[in-house]
Structure 1
Amino acid sequence: MIWTAVLLMAVVSHVNSVDYCYNEPHCDTYAWGDKFPSCHPLLEEHHSPINLDHQMTRNESLGPLHLEGFDEIQTGHWTLYNDGHSVVLQVGSGMSVSGGGLPDVYHTMQLHFHWGGPATNGSEHTVDRRRYPMEMHIVNMKSIHPNLSVALDDPTGLAVLGFFIDVVYADNVNFGHISQKLSSVAYNGQITKVKPFSLMSLLPKHNMSQYYRYYGSLTTPPCSQAVVWTLYEVPIYISWSQLAQFTSQIFSTEEDAEQVTPLQNNFRHIHPTFSRIVSVSKDGRLLTGTAGRPLRSAVSVLQIVLLGSFVSKL
């Protein structure tokens, strides 16, 4: 059943792949509204992503979320596929998210990534107007809804957990469960099996009580304003070579693969918060950290070693 669903999603993504893009003027993020009216941001509409700055409000009631099943290794298999716009890991059933101010229990569906290029950062949300190299989204659907279409009509139908991704000198062994499979999903429609692993092993598990919360939208068409966003302060760390696997080995189409034109900078532009409240969790540090510096073609060994030393102490 899950495999059939993934195949269907891949087919739908293939049909829609010509309708929007990131880097072509006729279909980039600013043109999405031409074909997807709900992607056209009007005054006071709640679109995502946003910039995170010091104009936030601490909410003492926002404690750690309960991530049911994230520590366990699920049965069966997961599927990794290329939808023409990103790489998506479909995780099946067995995991859910609740607590932390969420209005309901949300079932975990999938996770996917947004990235930049060899010399550009590519997170969707920014911190003080600066981007991290990548961003990972874990998408969860409210348990009362029978399908995604119904959930998208609910202002809190989805709960998305966002994690910034930064780079260090050493490979992230747990992240290798995904990065080592990327060559099998090089372009749109390709699918491969992934042996389930503990999803918590990917996350900054000692800092999961530090996050930001706001209400927004999907960052891809149809841009439905149906998302409760939880963005974690402490990033996931991967190696430069693991980052390069995304920026150089993933393509939108088979033709792009043949022409060696990789998918890069697959992030939506920043939107104003307008009257929305952006909250900081009880243990959040109010942006005392900083986003990763823009990537450069060469980085000093001293910088990398110092960053690696910092990470080992987290």
Structure 2
Amino acid sequence: MLKHLSEPAMVRSAALLMVLVLCADSQDYCYDKTDCDPYAWGDSFPSCHPLLELHHSPINLDHHMVRNNSLGPLHLEGFDAIQTGHWTLENDGHSVLLQVGSGMAVSGGGLPGVYHVIQLHFHWGGLATNGSEHTVDGRRYPMEMHLVSMKSIHPNVSAALDDPTGLAVLGFFIDVVYADNVYFGLISQKLSSVAYRGQMTKVKPFPLLSLLPKHNMSQYYRYSGSLTTPPCSQAVVWTLYEVPIYISWSQLAQFTSQIFSTEEDAEQVTPLQNNFRHVHPTFSRTVSASRDAGLLRGTAGRPLGSAPVVHLLQIIVLGSFTFKL
């Protein structure tokens, strides 16, 4: 059982199982072809069929959410420390994943237990499209980061997927500004080493809290849902943070232009873009706002994204970025 953070071997085994389950077979699903895109996943993965009243993810966040004053800040154990060993960055053909090993846990904030952090990964759009999975008032952010954890009472991921609260995912929207995010750069600077599916590289650990909107961690939204990739198990407690992580246009472009869903020696390499699942109805589910989060008021407020995505195209055309494809 994963009872203590001092059991690194067990946690590493769980991490491997997590990767196998969350990523599935790269031949079985995709994002860009009609026979294997998210609308066809149910043909190979029955749990991905969006049947009536099933609790699928992602969803749209809107003014129907309710305030829950019992939802305070989560306890993020080990997030402010530099973990030992090394982390592994991988291109699995569907996303870029950072395996963080043992040493960090998530609890409190209304979560039904302690969850051990396994990995984080990203979803993004294309050169002219935003790519967050969840939407806010029907609009997408440029990217979204998911921090995946498994409930410590479960011996493996298979058991966790049979528990409606077996996994906890912290979701962070990613918006763009003109300055690089130094800590995000510790990941994005390694992308050239994992440009193609199956490639992996080592990443020196850093305090994960430095990557997050640490001054706004009490502002989030909560609902029950599913994995957003096959097998789409309805086993996730979602925590979506209101304040985004900010990165630069060039850091965004490293994902949208330099990552491929195919192997390096493929006859035709395919860019990995728009790797997000479509939004699903909430049905009877309650979406709660934490006591410090703002309640959404329809379409009021500035558009998502700090500038039109077309401006990114203009920057690329003008040669402000140098890509090594």
Q: Find the aligned partners of 1:10 and 1:98 in 2 and give their Cα distance.
A: 22
* 2:158 equivalent to 1:146: no
Q: Find the aligned partners of 1:85 and 1:145 in 2 and give their Cα distance.
A: 26
Aligned match of 2:6: none
Task: Give the C-alpha shift of residue 287 in structure 1.
Answer: 3.0
Task: Give the C-alpha shift of residue 75 in structure 1.
Answer: 0.5
| Alignment equivalent of 2:291, drawn from 282, 286, 292 | 282
Q: Find the aligned partners of 1:7 and 1:208 in 2 and give their Cα distance.
A: 28
Q: How many residues align?
A: 301
Pairing 1:1-314 to 2, within 5 Å after superposition = 16-254=25-263, 259-287=268-296, 290=302, 292-293=304-305, 295-298=308-311
Shift in alpha-carbon separation, 1:44–1:3, aligned structure 2, 3 A: closer
AA of the residue aligned to 1:189: G
Shift in alpha-carbon separation, 1:80–1:51, aligned structure 2, 3 A: same
Contact 2:14 2:156 in 1 (8 A): no
AA of the residue aligned to 2:113: D
Shift in alpha-carbon separation, 1:276–1:291, aligned structure 2, 3 A: farther
Q: Find the aligned partners of 1:256 and 1:30 in 2 and give their Cα distance.
A: 29
Of 281-290 and 99-108, deviating more is: 281-290
Q: Find the aligned partners of 1:257 and 1:238 in 2 and give their Cα distance.
A: 31
Task: Give the C-alpha shift of residue 299 in structure 1.
Answer: 6.4
Deviation by residue 1:154-173 (Cα, 9 ceiling, x = unmatched): 00000000000000001100
Aligned identity (percent) is 80
Aligned match of 2:318: none
Shift in alpha-carbon separation, 1:256–1:271, aligned structure 2, 3 A: farther
3-state SS, counterpart of residue 276 of structure 1: coil
Deviation by residue 1:220-265 (Cα, 9 ceiling, x = unmatched): 0000000000000000000000000000111111258764531000
AA of the residue aligned to 2:66: T
3-state SS, counterpart of residue 274 of structure 1: coil
Shift in alpha-carbon separation, 1:164–1:290, aligned structure 2, 3 A: farther
Q: Find the aligned partners of 1:12 and 1:213 in 2 and give their Cα distance.
A: 24
- Structure 1: 5+ residue runs without aligned partners? 302-314
Deviation by residue 1:2-56 (Cα, 9 ceiling, x = unmatched): 8888788778888711100011000000000000000001110000000000001
Shift in alpha-carbon separation, 1:154–1:118, aligned structure 2, 3 A: same
Q: Find the aligned partners of 1:276 and 1:251 in 2 and give their Cα distance.
A: 36
Q: Find the aligned partners of 1:43 and 1:20 in 2 and give their Cα distance.
A: 22
Structure 2 length-normalised TM: 0.87
Contact 2:128 2:313 in 1 (8 A): no
Contact 1:14 1:188 in 2 (8 A): no
- Structure 2: 5+ residue runs without aligned partners? 1-8, 315-325
Contact 1:251 1:257 in 2 (8 A): no
3-state SS, counterpart of residue 57 of structure 2: coil
Aligned match of 1:304: none
Structure 1 length-normalised TM: 0.90
Contact 2:58 2:278 in 1 (8 A): yes
AA of the residue aligned to 1:296: V
Q: Find the aligned partners of 1:234 and 1:153 in 2 and give their Cα distance.
A: 31
Task: Give the C-alpha shift of residue 295 in structure 1.
Answer: 4.0
Q: Find the aligned partners of 2:221 and 2:23 in 1 and give their Cα distance.
A: 33
